[in-house]
Amino acid sequence: MADLVGRLEGKVAIVTGAGSRGPGVGNGKATSVLFAREGAKVLLVDIALDHAEETRAIIDEEGGEASTFQADVTSEADCRAMVEAAVERYDRLDILDNNVGISLRKNIIEIDPDEWDHMMTINLKSMMLASRFAIPAMIENGGGSIINISSVAALRAIGDAAYTTSKAAVIGLTMTMAADHGRDGVRVNCIAPGLVYTPMVADRVDPQLREHRRKASALGTEGTAWDVGWAAVFLASEEARWITGAVLPVEAGAIIAARDHYAHWWD
């Protein structure tokens, strides 16, 4: 591995949603590959094993260390089993990247209450379930780092009521977990990605809209899953040893620029 610099050498990580839903590289896949490049052993967790296998193939090719684990992170039993698998295979757990999340694009009149519950379960409850088993395992080795993937949608409305609400709640969850488990050496932070171009959005973004999204931030450049992955590497590493309870926007200044970049959501 030519580029190995080992910022996560000796660490064991779990990434949930470690595959990508479609062709290309999503946040979970990029984060898993970068964790492995930086020396971590990575448990690639996905409800669709074939998605996780694609990520493992990339890591294998690069000479990194990873294995797959099929789990639905909305299941408490699966979350327990996933943490047990990481400890069984690699002896410890240092990092949890809570990446699974879905969007729906409905307001509160359009959404069915059952759909609302489903969104809260996938986007929020899953992070609580994964963390409640990960934290005790991390404490066994003196602590660890949890990264919860929120969204800029938590900080401004985007025409997706359940998504915005669940992603805002992820910030609250991050703060309480950081406060409750800080003295045990567990850091908990949150990344708020902006309009990154990933398989999650590719099927509903045409070239014109893609260009609109690119221009809609202070930097005016397109973000990728790798941008989110690098932020996760930083928060997972010892470089961030004094950072906890933080929300890190990775969005090219989309919030501060306050351009009309979300106008298309209502068009």
User: Which residues are part of the catalytic machinery?
Assistant: 163
Closer of 39 and 193 to ligand NAD (Cβ): 193
Interface size with ligand NAD, residues (CB under 6 A)? 30
CA 48, 54, 58, 59 torsion-angle sign? positive
Q: φ and ψ at 132, to 5 degrees?
A: -65, -25
- 12-16 vs 186-193, strand pairing mode: unpaired
User: Within positions 155 to 214, which residues make up the interface with ligand NAD, using CB under 6 A?
Assistant: 193, 195-196, 198-201
- Per CB under 6 A, 51 contacts ligand NAD: yes
| Interface with ligand NAD, residue 64, by CB under 6 A | no
Nearer residue to ligand NAD within complex by CB, 28 or 64: 28
Q: Which of residues 115-154 bind ligand NAD (CB under 6 A)?
A: 122, 149, 151
Backbone angles phi, psi at 21, to 5 degrees: -70, -20
Task: Name the minimum Å distance from CB 207 to ligand NAD.
Answer: 16
- Decide the pairing of beta strands 65-70 and 95-98: unpaired
CB of 135 to ligand NAD, least distance (A): 19
Compute the distance between CA of residue 124 and CA of residue 117 in angstroms, rounded to an integer.
10
> Reduced to 3 DSSP states, what percent helix, strand and coil does the chain have, rounded to the nearest 5?
50, 15, 35
- Indicate whether 217 belongs to the interface with ligand NAD (CB under 6 A): no
Window contacting ligand NAD (CB under 6 A); options: 43-51, 88-96, 105-113, 204-212 = 43-51
Angstrom distances, CA of residue 232 to CA of 11, 115, 208, 262: 14, 29, 30, 25
Which stretches of the chain bind ligand NAD, using CB under 6 A?
A: 16-17, 19-21, 26-28, 46-48, 51, 71-74, 99-101, 122, 149, 151, 193, 195-196, 198-201, 225
